[in-house]
Amino acid sequence: MELTMSLALEGKTSGSEAQVRAARSRRYLRLALLYLVFLALAEALTVYADIRLGMIAHITLLVALLANAASTGDETLRRSLLALAIAPLVRITSVSLPLERLTRTESFLVAGIPMLAAASATARALRLSRMDVGLVMKMWPAQLAVFLAGFAFGIIEYLILEPQPLIPELSLASVWVPVLVLTVATGFAEEFAFRGVIQSSLSQTMGRMAIPYLAAVFAVLHLGYRSGLDVLFVFAVGLFFGWVVFKTKSIVGVTLSHSATNVTLFILVPLLLVGSPGGSGPEVGQFPAKIVAATSQQAADGVQADERLAQNLPLSVGLVSL
């Protein structure tokens, strides 16, 4: 009799714990979706309305994430919020940098440094280990396959955006520095930040839902190209990269794939397949939309300032199309 009552009590306790976990997961998801909507709004304001309004929205989002992290008593939620704060911070930093004064290769490097620094600081603050962020080599045949897939992604991305090549000619002297910069500042920096630090932290609160959620965050941060097809493509590749990291527990393959994608997009396809140093699409770092000029000189000066700010948008974050 006592054994039966004990088993029944344990069953009720387990059921109650399951209900609590389910309720907590729903709360996490609602909060995450709220921040995603806010991020999308901030990015839409930056791209389609006014850059200054967009920056105000991004700063508001960053402050909200940090304040929520500081006030919550849920340690798991705090870690996720701190990691997610990298997204608006990257956009704020990138638009603030004077990238229009640099060469295109230098712009990639300068835009990638703050992202890498923010991700590294966040990983240290959250005490994430090398294994937590995927800085390990596992399942190397699968990693090799993912790396090779990056060249196909680059061709597809070129067909969508048709950007101008990063360098005027394909020679060892001119290609090795841009390739190195693309590998470190885009491939490694972005994958370490997003698939390493953010995904590992969000998975503690959202489980496998962290993969599509983070892919959506990445896609939203590509609104600056004003291409719905590009946003969908980035979302799809983000899903694939997130799934690879979830399965392999390593960012090595996606880092190499991301690097191969950008090298193919900005160097190999424009110079080898297209065979022209000029492209029909926008230059890297040049916002593809023209801001309508004002009639007065004062308004025109304001438009020029907006254009200088807008040039930085495509350099902030990008899965395969910085």
Predicted confidence at residue 67, as pLDDT, reads: 97
Predicted confidence at residue 138, as pLDDT, reads: 87
Predicted confidence at residue 187, as pLDDT, reads: 94
Predicted confidence at residue 313, as pLDDT, reads: 52
pLDDT in 10s for each residue of the chain, 322 residues: 554 555 454 555 556 666 767 778 788 989 999 999 999 999 999 999 999 999 999 999 999 999 999 999 999 999 999 999 999 998 998 888 887 788 888 888 998 999 999 999 999 999 999 999 999 998 899 999 999 999 999 999 999 999 889 998 888 889 999 999 999 999 999 999 999 999 999 999 998 999 999 999 999 998 988 899 999 999 999 999 999 999 999 999 999 999 999 999 999 999 987 765 544 454 544 433 332 232 233 334 444 545 545 455 544 433 334 4
Predicted confidence at residue 275, as pLDDT, reads: 65
Report DSSP letters for 276-313, one per residue.
-S--SSPPTT--SSPPPPPSSHHHHHHHHHHHHHHTTG
Predicted confidence at residue 149, as pLDDT, reads: 98
Residue 322, classified by CB atoms within 10 Å of its CB into exposed (0-12), middle (13-18) or buried (19+), is buried
Q: Where are the chain's structural domains?
A: 2-315
The percent of the chain in helix, strand and coil, each rounded to the nearest 5, is 75, 0, 25
Q: Which residues contact 3 (CB under 8 A, 6 or more apart)?
A: none
Q: How far apart are CA 43 and CA 230, in angstroms?
A: 15
Q: How far apart are CA 62 and CA 57, in angstroms?
A: 9
Q: What is the pTM of this model?
A: 0.83
CA dihedral over 187, 188, 193, 196, signed as positive or negative: positive
